[in-house]
Structure 1
């Protein structure tokens, strides 16, 4: 049997964290335990012969407790935006797979230095260079033909655009979330709400047409 305080504290709570008997405690039958736990100890017990026979929720005291201990959603929102931003950055720098002109596949990371180097290579072929030295992840540097540099650059641009756009929409979702549960469910990779998904699809479609 679980044991609770026989008298409430100033807040109206009958809590006994250990649930063990002690002087001044009363027994709580197993069939009333879940009601007690759900009410977080804010109950109104009817006691007979050292045991609780009827248990009601002290809703006023429970509401006051939950209001006083309500999480600060503004602070949680800031943490969520940081979490999403970091996840977006990690997704971008993880890079892309690209099928090259010789039919092989290469993976190209997109750390900030990689993005700078790739921009330099792309600019060179745009100025009619027939190739430019570059390297896939874990591979030796070699001369890539202009077509491959362009393919890698286009894939990298599309990859970065997708993730920055997706992250922007996740941020908008987080900023409008009204409950802690909704906010906690917003994770990188989650399906966007219908209106945000439609807006992102339109943005990506317009970007592809440019």
Structure 2
């Protein structure tokens, strides 16, 4: 019983491989910016969708989608940079798939066909300069010195008080601003004169 199961499994595996072999791809030579023709044959139903994927990650993001083809061939200008290893993945209307062998793109002097993404990747090591930015390396400006306010000049004439200054016990001093003699200033000479007159009479 066990040998019979092994035989059935082997036959099934060979049948699957044979069915897949019916849909196969001819692996072309790829040169950067040069046209390449991909052909396929076998048991397939059109249209056939052709995409290109990285050989080291065939289930990852596609590098290019060439579209659907009703014929058995497609011509493509290689717009992927030299050195990249790629694989063609084909799928027909039934969902059957065919894969090419890994292909390393060869170099050439032509590079005008490369897409902007590839060109950007080839120069990714260059520094990017931002225009219009502020210069942060210059010396800082010295702060402006505050402008000193001019001194306030009082041009108004000095005022002289003409008010009477009381003389006596309340204010025994002389008024320095008065031009006339006060009673206090006249009382001493009068007393002296009176004493001299009285002495003369006696």
Shorter-chain TM-score above 0.5:
no
Q: Identify the structure with the greater helix proportion.
A: 1
Q: Which has the larger radius of gyration?
A: 2
Return the structure number with greater relative CO, CA threshold 8 A, min gap 6.
Answer: 2
